[in-house]
Every structure is written in C-alpha cells, then in structure tokens.
Chains A and B, each alone.
Chain A
Amino acid sequence: MKTLFPYPVLSGEVVLVADRLVVDNIPRQWKAISEREHVIALHEVKGRWKEIRIKVSVTVDAGELAAGPWSAPTCVAVVRNPRTRIRHTFTLAPAGNGVWEGDVELRRGEQLGACEIDAWVVADVGGESGRLIGTASERWRADFEARTPTQQRSIKMVWKNFTDDIDLTEFRDDPWLLDAQADDPVLYLNSSVEGLRGVLENATTPEQKVVRDVMAAQIASETWASMFNAALYASDMEDGEVQWPGGWHEDVLKRMLPDVFADRSPSEGLAELVERRTEGQSGGDLQRRVMHAATFQSRKPKAVAGALKSLARMASAKESV
C-alpha cells in the first residue's frame, strides 16, 4: 500500500537488523536469528525465563538523513504482539553514520505466539516535532513457536487418542478434527484410528502413498474451509471500512481471499463477504467460492490426478504379471 505524507520522508531503505539474543542475561546462539528471513526463533526459550533482550540496529542512508529538511532525528524500535495487544517502544542510541543501536525487551507474560519488531525513524519536520519519516523496510518476527528461524510456518497439529481425551471423546470415531476456537487453530489427528499415523507419516508401498496423498489433501481442504469460516466470523465492518481480524484469522484470509475473488483486492473481497454475511444471504455462492479456494490451498487437483495415475499404473502392472 502506498502512503502519502504531508511532509518529506526518507526515500532510502530503513534496514532493521537483529544482532544478538540474550535470555535472562545469557547470550543465545546466533543461529536462532535469520537475517534473510527476518525471523528470531524462540522455541528453545521455554520454562522460567523472565526477559529476552534482542540487540537491534537500524541503518538509514546517512547522506540522505543529513541532507533532508528534518532535524533532530531519533529512532525507536517498536514491538507489537497481535495476540496480547501489547505495544512497546524502545529508544535506540545513535551510533553515527546513519546507524542506531539498542536493546528490545520482551517480558514474560506480555508475549504469546509471536511478536513483530518494527523500527520508526522520527524527526522534527517543518517545525513540527515527532514526525515519522521512515519505518523498517522489512519487519522482524520473534516467534516463540519457531524451532528454526524461517517465515514458513504451518498450523499446529497434534496426535491425540480421542477416546482418552475428555474434550474429544465425543468425536472418538472421527479420524481428524479442527479446533478453530482456540487462540490458535489446532488440527487434532486421532491416534486411536488404527493405521492412520502409519499411512500419514510412514507410507511405504505405492498403495499407501496413494491413500496418504488423497487423505492429506482431504484433511487440508476441510481444514482450510473451516478456518476460513471461522476467520470470516471474526471479521467486521466499522464505518463502512472492513476490520481485519488479525492473528491467524487474518493469515488465513490473506492466503485464501485471492482465490475466493480473483478480481478484487483482499480488503475489497473481505468487505464484500462481511456485507453478505450481515445481510443474511444464503451463502450458496460464497460456499462455492470457499470450497474452490480450499481446494486450491490443499492442492487437491494435483493429489487426485496423481492418485488416479498411480491407480492406472498399478492396474497395468498387475495385468502384465
């Protein structure tokens, strides 16, 4: 989205970099930080930690900063956690040559899931103080659930014996179930269904692989469809503007809306859906579109075509014996 300011802003990149991770004063390994992915993996930070400090630096074009029509530039790092709705800013110290450095602190009890780290460069412009003249070109994510520092993440999956679980025993014969109520969607896989885990995780024969691929596509498309519906109910309109739900709801919508409405921007598409929902339309057209998007996400066409091809191959192999 292109934003226009009523005063000049930095045109060059504002580069935010995480340099060092310290948990309760003990430095952690640098490989938890990925500069390429802009992710800090905090999965191993568990148990009784109190505070995490992340040393960050922000670099802007020193020449542009010096030459621009602004004065007294400062820089803050901003930590936002969409789940806990916490936002903190940390003033960074100038290190000269267009660089600021400092620590960002994450406190236990304020963080859940993942938080986002941004950088804002603020200066006096035209006699007005505190004007934003630049934000980080790429934000960072400090992810408490990531084992490796990559942007790539999947929804949580848990193997459970449904018969033994108080909450799940009601669904004990279901091979899988999506719980979209929690803060995070969790896909429960029923380990009491004999052979399910074997096929999904250790398929060896061609037959097992065919079943695995088709089943995986099926699980995925059901999961996407129900996540989409949950996300849609979490969205709202205010003053004619669509309100994105944030969190995983937003992630799901962002992934699927382009397939739900190919010729609309995601926010326009979402506005349309929320409107239809509040107007109480039957939703026939909507369900058709959601199914299409879920099919696409789960790569079902490929799985089905592949399975049919394998079947034909197996059949002809049998004939030739």
Chain B
Amino acid sequence: MPQDFAEWLRGMLRQRDMSQKDLAGAIDVTPAAVTAWIRGRSEPRYEKIAAIAEALGVAAEDAVSRRQPGAASSELSWIFRKAPADGGREGGNAAAFAFAANLEVLAREATQNSLDERLPGGQPVVSRFVLHELTGQHLEEFLEALRWSEIEKHLHAAADPGQKVGRVLLDGLQELERTRRLVLLRVDDYNATGLTGPDYDDGRFARVVRRTLDSGKAGAQGGSYGLGKAALWAASRFGLVLVNSTLSERQDGRHERRMAGRLELPWHALGTDEFAGPAWFGVKDPDRDDAARSWWGDEETARSLYLERDGSAAGTSFLVVGAYDGSGDTEQLEEMHERLAAGVARNFWASMVGGEAAAPLLRASVASWRNGRVVRAEERIDPHRHEPARSRAVQAFLDRRTVLELTSREDVLEMAVPLKLPRLKDGAGSDRTSPTTHDAVLLITPSGDDEPAADHISYMRATRMVVRSKKVGDLPLGHRNFQAVLLAGAATMKDTPDVEAAERLLRASEPPDHNDWTGTEDLTAMYVRGARQCIVNFKRLAEQSVREALQTQDDGQQGDEGPEVLKELLRLDPPKAPRTQGFPTIHAIEGEVDEHSAWRVTVTVKCPEREDPWVLAPAIRFTGRDGGGIPVRWAGRLVPVKNCELTKEGNLLFRGRRGVFKGVTDVASHPVPAAMSRIEVDVPRAKEAKA
C-alpha cells in the first residue's frame, strides 16, 4: 500500500533534515503551500513533484510512487548499540549458544526457515548455498564495501579470550590476518516471502534482523522458537551476517534489494566508550538515536557485497561473513561444500521429492566459488541419489502407487497409524465436533543391503523435514532390510479437520531442536493431561506396525517343530568358520600354464604353530563345476622356496608359520588340457613310514 504523499514528504524532510521553509525556497513555492502538502490538504502537480524530488536529492520516480529512495553506498555505516546505563554486560547472543555451530546444523535451520516462508501457489522453494572464498584483491574490495575498517577495532576489543564468543572472534581475526583468506557463505531462498514488514515493530524483517528468540511463526511452520536464524550468526566467525531480500509484499513502495547487516558481538569498550555488543549496518535513522535502518540498495552495492540476487523471485539472501564449521572438522572449501550438501540431503530429502501430481516442496543446491571463479559448479541435491529407498517411498505415496502387500523390491507398502488427539486446555477448540484421531501414513519399502542406515523409521509432518530418524527395535529374525517413513499432519496430503489438529499437536511436541516428538513444556501448557502419552503411543504404534509388516506368517504350528531347547542343540546349518584353524591351509596360489601345457604353481602354506614340524604331501587336482575334482601328479619333485625342505620320500617338511613351495604338474596325468582346467591345491598330512 503506497503511503499518501503527505506522509512520504514528512518522512523525507525528516530524513534529509530539511525544513518546510527550505523546501519552499528551493522549489519556489510559498511555505503555506508546503504546509498544505504536509498536512495532506492538497497535493502538488506533477512538475512540482519532480522539483521536490530534485530538492530532496531523490529520483522523481521515488516521489511519484511515494517510496523510500534508494540509498547510495556512501550513506551506509555501522552503528553500534551503546552499553546500557546499568552497566550490564552481555556475553553474546544467547540464542546462538543453543546450537552446535556446524554447517550441517546451519543447512538444516536455514532450509527449515525457507520452507516455513514458502509462498503459496505450489512452486517449490529454491534454496541455494554458495560458498565463496576470497583472497587478495577480491578480499580487499569486499572488506572495503563492508566498511571493515569501521568494525575491525570493535572486533579486536570484543575478542576477549576469557569468553567463548571472544575466543571464536580472536581465532577468526588471527586466522584472517595470517591467511588473508575469508570464506563467505551465501544462503539464498527463492519463492519465499522475503523479509517483509517495517524496519521496527513487528514483521519478518524486524524478527530476523532486530530481535532474538522471537519467531512469530504460526501453524505448520517449524521454527517456533526463533532459533533458526541464530544458526546463521553462529556460523560466522565474526557473528556477522548481511541480508538482501526481495519482498513478496511491497514495503515503503519498494520490494527489491532491501538490504541490512547485523553484527553480534559481546559487550566491549573502546577507550571510555562502552558498547552493548550488537551493531547494525545500514542508513542512519534520523528519527532514532544510534539506529541504522535497512536500505534499498542498488545493483552495484549488492554486487560489491556479494549479495546480488538472480532474477526477481521473492526471497532472501543471507551472507555469512567468515563462515566456518564450529565442530572444527572442516576447513577446506570442498569439505564445507560436502558438509552442506549432506546436511540438506539428510534432513530434507523428503521435501525435495516430487511426484507426477505434486511438485517438490523444495529444490536445493550447493555451489563453490573462489575469487569470482567456479570451483564446483552448482550441484542440485538429488534426494534419490542420497536416499534412494526413502525417496522412492515418498514418491510412490505422492503418485498414489503404494500397495497393500510387498511383493517386489520397488514396492512401497502403505498403512495407517492412528494418532489420538488430546483436547486443548481452557476449552479452546474443544467443542464436541473437534476430531479425536488423526490417521498418519506409514510407508515401508525394501532397501538395499549397502544402505548405511537400514531399518530406520523417519518421522515428518507438513514440510517433510526429517524430525527424527531412528532404528526400529526388536525386528524379526531374517527380515529384509527396509526403510520406513511416517508422514503425519499435513504431510498426509489430506484436508480433513484432524490434519490441522495433528499438526498443532506435533508441533507443540517438538523440542527447540525440532528433532523428536516428545513431551515438551508447550505440550503440557497447551493440552490436557495425557497428551504426552498420546505422542508416545503414536510412535510406539508406528514401530509396532513396521514389525508386524515384517513378521513372517506363523501358521500356529510352532508346537510341532519340537522343543525350543532342542532346536538350538540340533542345528544343521554350516558352522561359522573359525578364524584360526588347527591344520595347515593354503594361503595363496599363483601360477600359469607353461609352453608345455603344464601348470607351474607357487603355493604359500599357512601352518598353525606347534613344536613338531608339519610334514605335508601337497596334492593338486583339476576341479569340476560342482566341486570335487580329479587328482593329477606332480612332475618330478616339489621345489621348497621358503621355510620348508624336502623329505626323503618327496614330501615337504614345514617349519614356521608360512612356507612357500613350487611345483609343476605332469602333463601325462592331465585328464584334459591344462588350458581347459582349473586347479586347486591341498596340503594333507603325509603318511611317512617312521624312520
């Protein structure tokens, strides 16, 4: 909604620190005329509007459409919050501590936020992670655009090695000085709402850039604790994040390139000036002391800050300056790239699956750059590559291709798992007609033997983010590997009243990390007693359903199979081969057929240790298709090579654990030409007459 002209003009005069009289003089009208405009009693004609714009130093277009003028990069600065008068000192943003600051967590939290802000209309949210390493000239130019010189002294002052945040800062500064290398991580989303709403007060912009621990989310969204955005700041060595947002709804008459920056430092002092910690990057707000507003940027500024977005689709780009993996495992660009891709794939494979009828909820990609050049081209994360069996299950569900009985490897079994819906406290929505159960969808599909986390069940709801993935316990003997997916709430794609109620219940049962459905304070606060038990029963029932689906038929004849106690004692299946054997064995055979069509072999024999040497009579035979074989003779004597010697009778006496001998077969004893044979060598004990 564009403002009326009076309001726009009032705001502009204040911003430009210009009096009505000055304006009247500049555009050659009476002060009374200006007053009339300001009061909204009249509006200037078009030529006057152009003149007003010129006098205010803004584009005529800004005045005509009564929008905020764009800010030149020269107007930007960092503004630090003064320390409170009570002398309180904050050691850093508490929300950021709630995270294990690693890139996988960042990928999870940022993507979750993007999914929550998805625009209605069925288009998938596009989430893109771009790593960009800067050195040399590129680094210098970026730091200049960022006004690094304005914040560097604050960073040094705040880098107190006695505090957790301080140590990270100090480490980051030293690293930057030593390597002159900086990693930027850009997190983009498209087809999302963008940072809408006013600069202060309430709205998406204010919630992300101004506040901590406030999400204002509702309904199906995940981030009910407002922690997700903190993960962005936690991923920066300097607590420094810039944003550029394309808004889905105009704000102050504009929607493109709403930019801002926020720096999260702990309390620090420069000389006698004390600072609370946080600072904002933007245009100094004339209406407020020590506050910076977001600005409407131009393409050049956005480019210099590595924040220019592709195309005009709404959404937000966050730039994490000095991105790092807090776990310390990953330093190199390539590894960070892998880590991000893995983080997105592990948590959002289901969101990225689409079917014939339903588009995926999310498309995600990762790319890596170094000084403006591509290191690893943009790689779309394919859920079917990362999670083949699970993705197949969700796709079959979306395409309505699930079956009631599994008969082949590609099949996906669908079952219903009821979730009892407890009543809300204080009677809210608890009229007689409110639904009492919700049927969640359980999918089971066979998985390959080599899939790393086999036999797991993954819980999810509206956004199909994996809330939890756990191994199903107590599985029947000899079952096949499988993957199970439990789709609850809106993920069931139904639109019955129970869906909304289930979403609300499950959302309330997610702890701050959104990694389980369990008893939470929210659950206790919102629902009558027994709500936790409903959740526990639901999960238990889901696992039980999996077990039942895998159970082989029991035709009630167990009693006819004989006593259990005897079954174990009368097992006929082949015993497991012991690791060490009590008799000499063949360790290796090498050899070939020579020009006389004889086999020439070199055989390594492994002998168990014992005091007496082993006297062995190596035998060679041509083997048949079904085992067994036809013995052939050695031509002449065997040749000891290592740890063995010939006995008088032509056998071999082995000393030590490994012995090697050579031998050639007697062609005359071959039942078929050697080229048509395959051979095995055996080392039975020799029967020698005692000397």
Contact = CB atoms under 8 A, between A and B. Distances in A.
Interface of A: 1-7, 19-22, 27-37, 39, 41, 44, 55, 80, 87, 128, 132, 147-159, 187, 189, 197, 200-201, 212-213, 216-217, 219-220, 223-224, 239-241, 243-244, 248, 251-252, 254-255, 258, 261-265, 267-268, 271, 297-299
Interface stretch (B299-307, B368-376, B620-628): B620-628
A31 B590 CA distance: 43
A241 B628 CA distance: 8
A223 B568 CA distance: 13
Given A2-B586, A3-B680, A30-B446, A36 B570 contact: no
A187 B676 CA distance: 46
Interface stretch (B357-365, B477-485, B494-502): B477-485
Contacts of B554: 147
B684 to A, nearest CB: 4
Contact of A255 (B563, B575, B630, B676): B575
A157 B592 contact: no
A29 B675 CA distance: 46
Interface of B: 405-409, 411, 446, 449, 476-481, 550-555, 559-575, 578, 581-586, 588-593, 599, 601, 608, 610, 621, 623, 626-631, 674-682, 684-685
A220 B566 contact: yes
Given A36-B449, A157-B561, A220-B569, A30 B588 contact: no
A6 B675 contact: yes
A159 B407 contact: no
A147 B553 contact: yes
Contact of A2 (B627, B628, B675, B680): B680
B572 A154 contact: yes
A148 B476 CA distance: 9
Contact of A20 (B408, B608, B675): B408
A27 B407 contact: yes
A33 B480 contact: yes
A22 B626 CA distance: 28
25 contacts: A1-B586, A1-B680, A4-B679, A6-B677, A29-B407, A35-B449, A87-B626, A147-B554, A147-B555, A148-B477, A153-B572, A154-B572, A157-B567, A200-B565, A217-B569, A220-B566, A224-B570, A241-B629, A241-B631, A255-B574, A263-B610, A265-B684, A268-B685, A297-B569, A299-B569
B585 A34 contact: no
A6 B684 contact: no
B604 to A, nearest CB: 10
Contacts of B590: 4
Q: Is the interface of A mostly helix, strand, loop or mixed?
A: mixed
Contacts of A268: 583, 682, 684-685
Q: Give the 3 A-B CB pairs with smallest separation, nearest first.
A: A157-B562, A27-B407, A220-B569
Contact of B478 (A21, A29, A37, A200): A37
Given A4-B601, A36-B449, A241-B621, A151 B565 contact: no
Given A4-B678, A241-B629, A251 B582 contact: no
Contacts of A27: 407-408
A189 B570 CA distance: 14
A231 to B, nearest CB: 11
Given A36-B481, A189-B562, A154 B570 contact: yes
Contacts of A159: 560, 562
B584 to A, nearest CB: 8
Nearest to B403: A27
B566 A219 contact: yes
Given A157-B561, A212-B565, A262-B582, A31 B479 contact: yes
Nearest to A157: B562
B562 A80 contact: no
Contact of A151 (B573, B675, B684): B573
Contacts of A22: 407
B582 A157 contact: no
A25 to B, nearest CB: 12
A4 B589 contact: yes
A224 B569 CA distance: 9
B684 A271 contact: yes
B685 A44 contact: no
A6 B593 contact: yes
B478 A150 contact: yes
Given A149-B478, A263-B610, 16 more contacts: A3-B680, A4-B590, A4-B601, A4-B678, A6-B592, A34-B480, A87-B626, A152-B477, A154-B566, A155-B572, A157-B561, A187-B562, A216-B566, A244-B628, A254-B575, A265-B581
Given A3-B679, A262-B582, A216 B563 contact: yes
A194 to B, nearest CB: 16
A154 B680 contact: no
B478 A148 contact: yes
A20 B409 contact: yes
A263 B627 CA distance: 23
Given A30-B446, A35-B449, A148-B478, A248 B680 contact: no
Nearest to B478: A150
A153 B446 CA distance: 25
Given A4-B678, A55-B408, A200-B566, A148 B552 contact: yes
A259 to B, nearest CB: 10
Contacts of A252: 572
A271 to B, nearest CB: 7
Contact of A3 (B623, B626, B628): B623
A200 B566 CA distance: 8
A31 B552 contact: yes
- Chain B CB within 10 Å, residue with most, of A1, A20, A39: A1
B408 A263 contact: no
A80 B581 CA distance: 30
A177 B449 CA distance: 42
Contacts of B446: 30
A263 B582 contact: yes
A254 B574 contact: yes
Given A155-B572, A201-B564, A20 B478 contact: no
A159 B571 CA distance: 18
B477 A31 contact: no
Nearest to A223: B570
Contact of A30 (B407, B551, B581, B626): B407
A35 B477 contact: no
A27 B581 CA distance: 44
B407 A20 contact: yes
A242 to B, nearest CB: 9
Nearest to B683: A265
